Amino acid sequence: MSGDETECGARSGTYGHPAPVEEWQRRHTQETRHLRYRRNFGDYAVMRPPAGRDGFVGGPPVP
Ligand SMILES: [Zn+2]
């Protein structure tokens, strides 16, 4: 994730956690009075493991 300030082009850099970006934005706002930021979030896809012994595998209907 990264925080970009669109009007002056200052960039926070990219971090794996929002906290350092928010800290950068807070400091940048104090220094420059800039208030607009563009934040880019990464997109993660989480794959589910294939069903094993404990997974649902189907079977005859329960009476
Ligand atoms: Zn700025």
pLDDT by residue (tens digit) across 33-59? Answer: 888 887 776 777 777 777 666 656 666
Q: How far is the CA of 17 from the centre of ligand 1 (A)?
A: 21
| pTM strictly above 0.85 | no
- Mean pLDDT, the chain, as a whole number? 75
Sign of CA dihedral 9, 15, 21, 27: negative
Sorted by where each begins, the domain ranges of the chain are 2-40
Q: How far is the CA of 53 from the centre of ligand 1 (A)?
A: 55
Strand, coil or helix: what is 47?
A: coil
Q: What residue type is 60 in one-letter code?
A: P
**pLDDT value at 1 more than 50:** no
Q: How far is the CA of 43 from the centre of ligand 1 (A)?
A: 25
Q: How far is the CA of 33 from the centre of ligand 1 (A)?
A: 7
CA–CA separation, 1 and 18 (whole Å) = 7
Q: Contact, 13 vs 45, CB < 8 A?
A: no
Q: Contact, 3 vs 37, CB < 8 A?
A: yes
Q: How far is the CA of 34 from the centre of ligand 1 (A)?
A: 5
Q: Which of 44, 42, 45, 48 is nearest to 21 (CA)?
A: 42
